[in-house]
Amino acid sequence: MKIHFIYSDVNTYFYPGVHHGLASISSVLKSRGHLVSVHHVKKEPSRNQILNIIQKERPDLIGFSSVTNQVGYVELWSRWIKKEFSIPIICGGIHATLRPEEVILFDGLDMICRGEGEYPMLELVDDLERTDIKNLWFKRGRDIIKNPLRPLISSLDDLPYPDYDFFDCKQILKDRGGDFAILASRGCPFSCSYCCNRALRRVQEGKGKYFRIRSVDNVLHEIELLRSKYPIRHLSFADDVFGLSKDWALEFCEKYPRKFDLEFECNARAEMVDKELLESLRSANCTQINFGIESGNEWLRKEVLKRSMSNEQIISAFDTAHKLGIKTLSYNMIGLPYETPEMIEETISLNKRVAPDRIAISFFYPYPLTELYEISKKEGFLSERHSTSFFSESVLELPTTTRKELYKLYTKFYGYAIERRIESFPPFLHLPLKIMSFALIRLLGKRVIEVLMKTYLRFFRLFSFLEGER
């Protein structure tokens, strides 16, 4: 059977990358002899462009993946396709898992998948007439058949390696300066109030262990295979938290450098990294660690965001990493419920104190079924606005910070982020670039975000070139 996936990745303002979930499903389907292809849609397409894809591919089954920010495209494109072709269409992914009642009603869809899609898809393509497949909901006329969830895949080592070949990896590697992202695990046991992990864990409660990690040897073997296929110059672990199991991380750090001289980066929680772990990561060639600061105000971080680490722990993690020669990136959110302009200033100050090499700033986005979504709804903070990316704008109306103040502080914060980035360039460029960026920010104001977002790929390539990295 021929299955065609459509991956909507429009205006997300990320360096385009692979979709790990689709790559894993593809691999399972291919291992049983099915034909799988993908269309990675990065620019808003016209109706004809979408229809031409289907006309060209003529698949037996079409699959969409959904994140909340992109689900509008799934609704629109599946409707366009359904009007012209009588091909069954299924949608899976986070939004379909968390909001099944909404997604199943999209006109263009016949089915949705909740939770992990590898084995439900396999059962479906073996028999498209079946309606009793666990994890899948089927639309049959006015009726909706809601099948229960199956257990989570207990051993990720049992899955074949994700099939990244069905993405344009050459282009992706070029866009990302030779960086390739992989996953060693699924899930996260923490309960930060803005993140979907708690919601996903609750939906799948009683279905097995939510956090699962592949064996170190399994991960190393995958890296070996990937390197033999693609010109990878840098690895990123996209796992929510690398080193959730310290023993696993130490084993990885011991074995990885014996096989590879490839630099890598990963995400970690500031209160979980100690000197021993950081030293091991450094000696394994980890050159960057990404920590979530999110807010510089401890009350907001602990009580509202439900992140237990203190400012002191954050400072210590960044300082230790820097002392060991590991670069850092901080993740930050602004536009949070109950946040005041002074609290945003505290976030900027904490960033200035820890001086990350790179700074990511996003606007808080209320994702369905998260604790902070419920609070935002109850408090009347939700607006009618929608955004395709949490980098582009705030969809909240806050009594504590006006939109004008929010964007003014965002621009200030962004100015500092650019300054930090410039500091990694050769010294003779610092002053002219700083003057240029200052003038640009002054001139464009809030529009600087839009301009930078739209041209970020070109900037990224230029920045990587200037840094002499990757």
List residues near ligand B12 by CB under 6 A.
Answer: 8-9, 12-14, 17, 19-22, 24-25, 63, 65, 67-70, 90-95, 98, 113, 116-118, 121, 183, 186, 195-197, 238, 240, 367, 389-391
Interface with ligand SF4 (CB under 6 A), residue from 18, 81, 182, 195: 195
Nearest distance from residue 198's CB to ligand SF4, in Å?
6
Strand order of the sheet with strand 61-65? 35-41, 2-8, 61-65, 89-92, 111-113, 136-140, 143-146
Contact between 190 and ligand SF4 per CB under 6 A: yes
Interface with ligand SF4 (CB under 6 A), residue from 240, 263, 265, 346: 240
Which helix (H) or strand (E) segment holds residue 461: the answer is helix 456-467
Counted residue by residue, the chain has a size of 470
70 binds, among ligand B12, ligand SF4, none (CB under 5 to 8 A by kind): ligand B12
Nearest distance from residue 302's CB to ligand SF4, in Å?
13
Tokens in use for 333? Answer: 């959110």
Q: What angle do CA 89, 91, 92 make, to 5 degrees?
A: 150
192 binds, among ligand B12, ligand SF4, none (CB under 5 to 8 A by kind): ligand SF4
**152, 115 Cβ separation under 8 angstroms:** yes
Nearest distance from residue 19's CB to ligand B12, in Å?
4
The C-alpha atoms of residue 93 and residue 115 are separated, in whole angstroms, by 7
CB nearer to ligand SF4: pick between 189 and 445:
189
Nearest distance from residue 63's CB to ligand B12, in Å?
3
249 binds, among ligand B12, ligand SF4, none (CB under 5 to 8 A by kind): none
Size of the site for ligand SF4 (CB under 6 A): 9
Tokens in use for 428? Answer: 């003779």
Nearest distance from residue 385's CB to ligand SF4, in Å?
23
Contact between 241 and ligand SF4 per CB under 6 A: yes
Contact between 300 and ligand SF4 per CB under 6 A: no
Q: Rounded to 5 degrees, what are φ and ψ at 44?
A: -55, 120
Residue 61, C-beta contacts closer than 8 angstroms, at least 6 positions apart = 1, 2, 3, 4, 87, 88, 89, 90, 124, 125, 128
The C-alpha atoms of residue 178 and residue 196 are separated, in whole angstroms, by 29
CB nearer to ligand B12: pick between 35 and 355:
35
Tokens in use for 268? Answer: 């970690």
- What are the C-alpha distances in Å from 455 to residues 336, 448, 449? 27, 10, 10
The C-alpha atoms of residue 328 and residue 358 are separated, in whole angstroms, by 6
Contact between 293 and ligand SF4 per CB under 6 A: no
Contact between 188 and ligand SF4 per CB under 6 A: yes
Nearest distance from residue 309's CB to ligand SF4, in Å?
10
Interface with ligand SF4 (CB under 6 A), residue from 8, 185, 197, 388: 197
Give the footprint of ligand SF4 on this chain (CB under 6 A).
188, 190, 192, 195, 197, 240-241, 269, 292
